[in-house]
Amino acid sequence: MPLHDLVSESLDMLYYGPLQFGTPPQELMVDIDTGSADLWVTSDCPSCPDKQFNKQASSTYSDTGSEYFLTYGTGEVSAGLSKDVVAVQGLSVKQQAFGTVRSESEYFSQYPISGILGMAFSTISVSRRKTLVENLIVEKQLAAPMFSVHLARGQETGSEACFGCMDKDKTLGDVQWIPLLSKTYWALALDAMFVNSAMTVANMVTAAIDTGTSFIYVPEDLATKFYRLIPGSRLATEYGTGYYAYPCNEKFDVSFLFGNHDFTIHSDDFNIGKECVGGVVSLGQSFPASNFAIIGDCFSGYSTFDYSNGGRIGFSPSINNIKPL
C-alpha cells in the first residue's frame, strides 16, 4: 500500500494511503495510525472538505444503528457504526465494521484525508469491533500475521504499508524484535534514552509506537533529564508547551533503548524545526499517565508489527532512517 507523506516546512506531518470502500469500490485516503484501533471515514458530513464515502452508491452497505464518539489528542469525531466491503492491497473484508463520520473537529479538516485506519488492537477499540488487519488474519488472507510500515523522510512518495509482509528493498539489515507489554497499544518498555554515551534511565515507562503522531512525547521529568544531557538546550515555550530548543552547532546522537537494543534517531528526524527544536517533547503534568510515552514519526524507519509470538515489534535499519547502534 503506497503511502503519501504530507510535508510542511520540512516536517513529516502525516502519512496516509488509499483504502477502497463499498460496491463498486470507492477509494478514500486514510491516515495510517498504529496508536488507535478504529476505522472511520467521513460520510454525509456537510463541513468535511475532502472526498467522502457515499453510502447510497454502495450495494453492500449496511447501517448497524449504533452511534459513538472517538476522541483523539487533537480532536474528536461523531460516527455511526456501519458495515461494508473494505479492501486494501488487493485484500478485502466483506463485512468490515467502520465509522461513518457526520462531524469532525477542525483539526482533521486541514489534512487531505477522509478518515483514519486504526491499527492497534481491537481491545482498545471504541466501536468494540475487530480491526481490518485482525479480520484479514482471521480470514487467513495474509501471508503472515503482521504488517510493516516504512516511513520515508521529507518526500511525498516512497513510504508504504505492507500487509502480511516485509519489504526487503526498504531495509538494510536484520530485524531486532522487542516483545509487547500487552495486546492493547503497540507498546514496548522504554528502558533508557541516550545522548551520545550519556544515559537517562526511563523508570517503568510504557512507550506506544504510534505512526499517527508526528513527534515523540515523554513524561515531563524524563524530558527534563534528557535535555540536561544536551549542552545549551532550553525550554522553548514559543513553539508550544513541552518543546525544547538547542544550539544548532551541537552535534550528537540520540538513541532509545528497547529490550536490550539501542536505536538511533537520525539527526534530520530529531530536529523538527527550521531552528534546532528537539523532536522529544514533554507531555506535561496535564497528561493522565505519568509513565506513558508516545513514539511518533520522528522515530521513523522500518517497523514490523507482528501479532504472533505473543505480539512483538521489529525494527530494521531503514534505507534512510533508524540505524541500530
pLDDT digits 0-9 by tens, 129-184: 999 999 999 999 999 999 999 988 767 778 899 999 998 888 887 899 999 999 99
For residue range 181-200, what is the model confidence (pLDDT) as tens digits? 999 999 999 999 999 989 98
The yes-or-no verdict on residue 289 having pLDDT over 70 is: no
pLDDT for the residue 9: 56
Q: What is the pTM of this model?
A: 0.91
**Active site residues per annotation:** 33, 210
Q: Please give the average per-residue pLDDT across 305-318, as a whole number.
A: 93
Strands 91-104 and 39-42, bridge-based pairing: parallel
pLDDT of residue 56: 96
Percent of the chain topping pLDDT 70 = 93
Q: What separation in angstroms does the CA of 128 have from each of 28, 61, 84, 121, 234?
A: 23, 19, 16, 10, 43
Q: Are strands 11-21 and 2-8 parallel, antiparallel or unpaired?
A: antiparallel
Instruction: Name the pairing type of β-strands 39-42 and 11-21.
Output: unpaired
39-84 residue pLDDT tens: 999 999 988 877 999 999 999 999 999 999 999 877 889 999 999 9
Provide the percentage of residues in the chain whose pLDDT is more than 90.
62
C-alpha closest to that of 70 among 58, 79, 81, 83: 79
Residue 235: pLDDT over 90: yes
Binning pLDDT at 50, 70 and 90, where does residue 250 land? confident
Write out pLDDT tens, residues 84-125.
Answer: 999 999 999 999 999 999 988 878 877 889 999 999 999 999
> How many other β-carbons are positioned within 10 Å of the β-carbon of residue 44?
15
Q: Which three cell numbers stand for residue 285?
A: 503534568
Which H, E and C letters describe the chain, residue by residue?
CEEEEEEECCEEEEEEEEEEECCCCEEEEEEEECCCCCEEEECCCCCCCCCCCCHHHCCCCEEEEEEEEEEECCEEEEEEEEEEEEEECCEEEEEEEEEEEEEECHHHHCCCCCEEEECCCHHHCCCCCCCHHHHHHHCCCCCCCEEEEECCCCCCCCEEEEECCCCHHHECCCCEEEECCCECCEEEEEEEEEECCEEEEEEEEEEEECCCCCCEEECHHHHHHHHHCCCCCEECHHHCCCCEECCCCCCCCEEEEECCEEEEECHHHHECCCCCEECEEECCCCCCCCCEEEECHHHCCEEEEECCCCCEEEEECECCCCEEC
